Homo-oligomer: A and B are copies of this chain.
Amino acid sequence: MDAIRKVAIVGAGLVGRGWAIVFARAGCDVTIYDGSAEIRAAVLERIRASLADMLEAGLIDAVDPVMQRLRVADTLERAVGDADYVQESVLELRDVKEAVCQEISRAMRPDAVVGSCSSGIPASAFTETCANRARFLIAHPVNPPHLIPLVELVPAPWTDAETVPWLRKQMEAVGQAAIVVRKEVEGFVLNRLQGALLNEAWALLDEGVASAADIDLTVSHGLGYRWSFMGPFETIDLNAPGGIADYAKRLGPLYHAIALARRNPAPWSQKLIAQAEAERREKLAVSQLGERSAWRDRNLMALVAHKRRTGV
- A interface residue numbers (CB < 8 A to B): 120, 142-143, 147-150, 152, 177, 179-183, 185-187, 189-201, 204, 207-234, 236-239, 241-245, 248-249, 252-268, 273-274, 276-277, 279-281, 284, 286, 289, 292-293, 296, 299-300, 302-304, 306, 310, 312
Does the CB pair B221–A177 fall under 8 Å? Answer: yes
Query: CA–CA, A249 to B137, complex, Å?
Result: 28
Partner of A196, one of B197, B212, B241, B260: B197
Q: How far is the CA of A293 from the CA of B218 in the complex (A)?
A: 22
Q: Is the CB of A277 within 8 A of B244?
A: yes
**Total copies of the chain:** 2
Interface of A is mostly: helix
The 8 closest A-B pairs by CB, nearest first: A216-B231, A150-B222, A259-B265, A224-B227, A228-B228, A196-B200, A179-B214, A177-B221
**CB–CB A201/B209 < 8 A:** no
Known contacts: A252-B267, A263-B264. The answer to whether A149 contacts B221 by CB under 8 A is yes
Cα A149 to Cα B224 in complex, Å, equals: 11
